[in-house]
């Protein structure tokens, strides 16, 4: 009798386990979504260069993201968790990093990256997964073009290149200029093109660009290109590129006895430029997104106070730190307006509708391509510091 009872109980246990297993595998998508909705944590994915040639840029943006998360840790009553992965300053690794965020980590939205090339590499992944991404400082127009799931809180290179060409022609009085571009960097190549087109238009001279020299990311010696420029009629050099190579260009130009004005773009606002180039960086002029001397919104003040409380009373945040901070705020605003933290398409639609959002680095309105239309800041390196020079409104 005891053996029969034991067998009966064992059958009940087996049946229970089997029934439980079936119930788990038969969950509908609606049930899965409901379970996710019940979780208390919202994951925001971040892919930034934390190692490799662009690690310093990634570090500046992560500073802004963590600060925003500290100030605004919740959305729709849920805790926000940043899931930060390293894209290793590499295009292939960038795509892999974002694949991990959307497939494994199941993030609600993606933020990043420093470097247009990495953002462009990740674009097809977020588009296929239908998860919105908000670019922080990636300025190449191709990041968002044709990708309805990629947006950004910074202006783009078609604007930035024109801004610097107008500065060269109208403010610096330059009529003939040499370009030194980082040929393996989409950002640098795009800026060189937009700058060239505007210089030719302004001067009415098809030969306004004396020469276009190229180098690859990671190159260390630029004396051949600089010597050719030194022996030309160039009145200035436009050299948009990664901050390390740009700093070496400044240093080697000085060593060659060159005294031509050096013009660049937003990547130059990285402390490593001054650390590497030192006095050779003095007088370099570049366009960027933000300056603490020119508060643009109430959020600018909130951001600055929080940054200095975190990093010291004399600390000056980089423009990309403010942009990353803004990308986080736009993501939370979109979720609040969409009324969901799990419906990624609804969140995407809300991001696309972003208009007049007051960020730390200015008012953010996204155009039909998902790009922010906003003013540019001109800065100069003086006395070993980045100093405000002018503001250029959108045109």
pLDDT value of residue 11: 46
DSSP state of 206: T
pTM (predicted TM-score): 0.81
Higher pLDDT, 23 or 170: 170
Query: 237, 163, 155: which is closest to 194 by C-alpha?
Result: 163
- Is pLDDT at 159 greater than 50 in this prediction? yes
Q: Give the residue-averaged pLDDT of 139-166.
A: 96
Residues 6+ apart with CB under 8 A from 347: 108, 109, 132, 331, 334, 335, 338, 340, 341
Query: 122, 54, 67: which is closest to 267 by C-alpha?
Result: 54
* C-alpha distances out from residue 87 to 1, 111, 368, Å: 66, 12, 28
Q: Are 58 and 49 in contact (CB under 8 A)?
A: yes
pLDDT value of residue 19: 41
Give tens-digit pLDDT for 354-390.
999 999 999 999 999 999 998 899 999 999 999 999 9
Going through 149-205 in order, the beta strands assigned E by DSSP cover 150-152, 177-182
Mean pLDDT of the chain: 91
Q: Are 344 and 132 in contact (CB under 8 A)?
A: yes
- Which residue is associated with the tokens 């994915």? 45
Residues 6+ apart with CB under 8 A from 25: none
CA 47 to CA 87: how far, in whole Å? 6
CA 284 to CA 251: how far, in whole Å? 11
- Is pLDDT at 308 greater than 80 in this prediction? yes
Structure tokens at 163: 């801004």
Radius of gyration of the chain (CA): 25
- Is pLDDT at 273 greater than 90 in this prediction? yes
Q: 295 by DSSP, 3-state: which?
A: coil
CA 10 to CA 29: how far, in whole Å? 33
186-203 and 116-129 helices, crossing angle to 10°: 110
- Is pLDDT at 220 greater than 80 in this prediction? yes
Give tens-digit pLDDT for 311-354.
999 898 999 999 999 999 999 999 999 999 999 999 999 999 99
pLDDT value of residue 395: 84
Give tens-digit pLDDT for 64-105.
999 999 999 999 999 999 999 999 999 999 999 999 999 999
pLDDT value of residue 29: 52
- Is pLDDT at 31 greater than 90 in this prediction? no
pLDDT tier for residue 274 given thresholds of 50, 70 and 90: very high
DSSP state of 170: I
pLDDT tier for residue 30 given thresholds of 50, 70 and 90: low
Query: 242, 236, 139: which is closest to 194 by C-alpha?
Result: 139
């Amino acid at each position: 009798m005891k053996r029969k009872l034991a067998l009966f109980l064992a059958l009940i246990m087996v049946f229970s386990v089997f029934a439980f297993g079936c119930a788990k595998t038969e969950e509908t998508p609606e049930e899965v979504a409901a379970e996710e909705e019940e979780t208390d944590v919202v994951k925001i994915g971040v892919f930034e260069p934390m190692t490799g040639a662009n690690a310093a840029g990634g570090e500046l943006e992560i500073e802004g993201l963590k600060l925003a998360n500290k100030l605004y840790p919740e959305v729709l009553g849920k805790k926000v968790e940043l899931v930060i992965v390293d894209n290793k300053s590499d295009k292939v690794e960038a795509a892999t990093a974002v694949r991990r965020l959307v497939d494994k980590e199941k993030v609600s939205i993606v933020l990043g990256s420093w470097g247009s090339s990495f953002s462009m590499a990740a674009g097809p992944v977020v588009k296929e997964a239908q998860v919105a991404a908000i670019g922080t400082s990636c300025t190449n127009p191709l990041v968002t073009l044709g990708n309805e799931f990629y947006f950004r809180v910074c202006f783009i290179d078609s604007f930035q290149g024109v801004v610097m060409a107008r500065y060269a022609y109208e403010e610096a009085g330059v009529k003939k200029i040499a370009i030194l571009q980082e040929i393996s960097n989409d950002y640098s190549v795009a800026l060189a093109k937009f700058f060239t087109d505007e210089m030719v238009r302004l001067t009415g001279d098809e030969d306004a660009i004396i020469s276009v020299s190229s180098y690859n990311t990671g190159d260390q010696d630029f004396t051949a290109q600089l010597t050719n420029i030194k022996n030309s009629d160039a009145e200035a050099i436009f050299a948009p590129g990664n901050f390390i190579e740009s700093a070496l260009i400044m240093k080697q130009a000085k060593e060659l006895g060159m005294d031509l004005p050096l013009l660049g773009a937003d990547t130059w606002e990285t402390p490593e430029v001054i650390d590497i180039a030192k006095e050779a960086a003095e007088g370099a002029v570049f366009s960027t997104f933000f300056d603490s001397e020119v508060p643009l919104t109430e959020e600018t003040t909130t951001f600055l106070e929080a940054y200095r409380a975190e990093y010291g009373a004399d600390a000056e945040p980089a423009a990309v730190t403010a942009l990353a901070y803004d990308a986080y705020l736009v993501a939370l605003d979109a979720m609040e307006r969409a009324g969901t933290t799990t419906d990624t398409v609804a969140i995407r639609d809300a991001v696309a509708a972003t208009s007049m959002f007051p960020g730390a680095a200015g008012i953010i309105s996204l155009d039909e391509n998902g790009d922010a239309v906003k003013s540019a800041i001109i800065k100069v390196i003086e006395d070993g510091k980045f100093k405000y020079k002018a503001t250029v409104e959108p045109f």
